Amino acid sequence: MAYSTGLIWERAMTEPEAALPVTQVAVEDFTEWYVASLGGTIDIDGDQWKVTIPDTADTALSTGQVTIRCGVTDDEDIVEEPLHPDSEFFQLILRDAAERCPAGKITIEAEHVDVELPSWLKAGDVEVTETNFTPYYDRTAVVVLFQVSIETVSEYQQELLRAVAIDVRSEESLPGLAATFLELTSLTTEPSPTTTQSSLDEAKAQSILDPAREKLTERIQPVIDEIREEASRSADTEVEEYRQLQQQRIDELEEQRRALASKIDDLSEATTNADQETRVEVLKERKDTKAELSDVDEELSELRDKRDRGYPAKQQEVHKRHALDVQIEPVIITEVEYESGEIDIELSEGTISKNITVGYGSGIGLTETIQCSNCGEILSSSNSIGTIKPSIQCQSCSSSL
């Protein structure tokens, strides 16, 4: 049976696009679901799970029994296989799921999803009294679930699953459809949509991947930039700490040099009135002290030179270690059929009613924009509808009436 790993995570409603945070809870839910889909069982005893996968299972995973430990632990005595978002066991399961059935197909029909009203209608005194969606034709889109890894060698790491929906004909991005897809295929959604084998050929599926990856890269660029800035600040802090340590060492060497130079002067003076035996000993000590001073001068000169050049080698080493490694890999491709047409929305404000008709897609929402009749600005969540008296106007224009 075709399926999608979208079945295992809930939609992150606070995200502007369809995003799936790979949490510990999500990982454990997925593992339970996937093992069950293979005909396996899990004996749960707190954080310790005994996972049994039958020999007859259609999987590349090792069959038989394995004991795993949920979560991350610093206890070196723990010998069980760890299970957490970054664990090898979870990555094996995710890859196995993708390889078993990397492409599926679902149909989103208007009768199975709630009407998605635009954000500009969810505030103010204007109410929606009735909606009526009329589908005209079926459209096909492809939802690609990408695994996104953003990390540095040192400390920053984010693991995300993000979905991108692309209309097959127009190659237009459909973020609303991607979010609806994740919501419909969540394990918490009842009933789950029926999935079938995708009819997409490999060439067409591959042609969707590049534009989908480009659109996702554009969307996550602010996240990448934010993590890069954090990493850069950490690198700068580390370099500054190194600079301070080196300056401390320079100060120590300068103090040591002054002490050695003073000692040499004292030893030179001591040779003036010393007897032959004492003079030989003093001269030997002065020679050793001069050698020590020479070593100090050499180290001091080297440190001063590096300081004056800004420690280029150290800066390169630190910034290289804090550099970002961004990986965006497709995991699942799902063909989605949806209905496209028009929706009639009846608006009311007090005793006044007004009907608007606008393009609409099942699982997508409005496919056309509405403008303020006064200023011409497009209505949006930040520029919501203010009144329909006597025509549709935004909040800014209605407040000046």
Instruction: Tell me how far CA of residue 32 lies from CA of 87, 90, 92, 367, in angstroms.
Output: 16, 11, 14, 38
The one-character DSSP state at 77 is T
Q: Does 50 have pLDDT greater than 60?
A: yes
Q: Which of 33-47, 70-84, 185-199, 253-267 is the least confident region?
A: 185-199
178-192, 213-227, 252-266: least confidently modelled range: 178-192
pLDDT of amino acid 343: 93
pLDDT, one tens digit per residue, over 376-399 is 999 988 888 999 988 899 988 887
**pLDDT tens digits for range 125-171:** 888 999 999 999 889 888 888 888 888 776 666 667 788 888 888 88
Task: Please choose, from the candidates 144, 152, 162, the residue with its C-alpha nearest in 3D space to the C-alpha of residue 21.
Answer: 162
Residue type, 269: E
Q: Is 9's pLDDT higher than 70?
A: no
Q: Using CB atoms within 10 Å of the CB of residue 109, give its burial: 0 to 12 exposed, 13 to 18 middle, 19+ buried.
A: middle
d(CA 195, CA 352): 45
pTM for this predicted structure: 0.64
Average pLDDT over residues 3-26: 46
Largest pairwise CA distance in the chain: 121
DSSP letter at 378 equals B
Confidence at residue 2, expressed as pLDDT on a 0 to 100 scale? 31
247: pLDDT strictly greater than 80: yes
Cα–Cα distance for residue pair 242/259, rounded to 1 Å: 26
What are the DSSP E strand ranges found in 15-112?
19-21, 41-45, 48-53, 64-70, 81-83, 103-108
Q: Return d(Cα 162, Cα 148) in angstroms, integer.
A: 7
User: H/E element holding 282?
Assistant: helix 276-308
* Whether 144 contacts 208, CB under 8 Å: yes
* CA dihedral for 138, 20, 381, 113, sign (positive or negative): positive
| Nearest alpha carbon to residue 302 among 265, 260, 262, 250 | 250
**Residue 172's pLDDT is what?**
86
Nearest to 49 by CA among 65, 26, 37, 36: 65
Alpha carbons 52 and 40: distance in angstroms, whole number: 5
Check whether 362 has a pLDDT greater than 70. yes
Q: What is the pLDDT of residue 62?
A: 85
- How do the residues of the chain divide into helix, strand and coil, expressed in percent and rounded to 5? 40, 30, 30
Read off the pLDDT of residues 87-115 as tens digits, 9 standing for 90 and up: 888 888 877 876 765 566 788 877 767 78
341, 261 Cβ separation under 8 angstroms: no
Q: How many CA atoms lie within 13 A of 143 on its CB side?
A: 35
The pair of structure tokens assigned to 313 is 């080698």
Helix (H) or strand (E) segment spanning residue 89: helix 88-100
> What value does the CA radius of gyration of the chain take, rounded to a whole number of Å?
34
* DSSP H or E segment with residue 399: helix 395-399
Task: Note the pLDDT tens digit of each residue in 326-360.
Answer: 888 887 788 888 899 999 999 999 889 999 999 99
Rounded CA separation 97/91 (Å): 10
What's the confidence (pLDDT) of residue 102?
A: 55
| Cα–Cα distance measured from residue 343 to residue 367, given in angstroms and rounded to the nearest whole number | 10
Extract the runs of DSSP E, i.e. beta strands, from 156-270: 157-167, 195-196
196 confidence band (pLDDT: 50, 70, 90):
low
Structure tokens at 128: 């929606």
What share of the chain in percent tops pLDDT 90? 28
Angle at 255 between CA 254 and CA 258, to 5 degrees: 85
Among residues 129, 115, 124, which one has the least CA distance to residue 385? Answer: 124
Assess contact for 395 and 124: CB atoms under 8 A. yes
Those residues with Cβ within 8 angstroms of residue 169's Cβ, 6 or more apart along the chain or in another chain: 139, 140
Strands 325-349 and 103-108, how do they pair? parallel
- Name residue, tokens 């029926």: 194
pLDDT tens digits along 254-309: 999 999 999 999 888 888 877 888 888 989 999 999 999 999 999 999 999 999 99
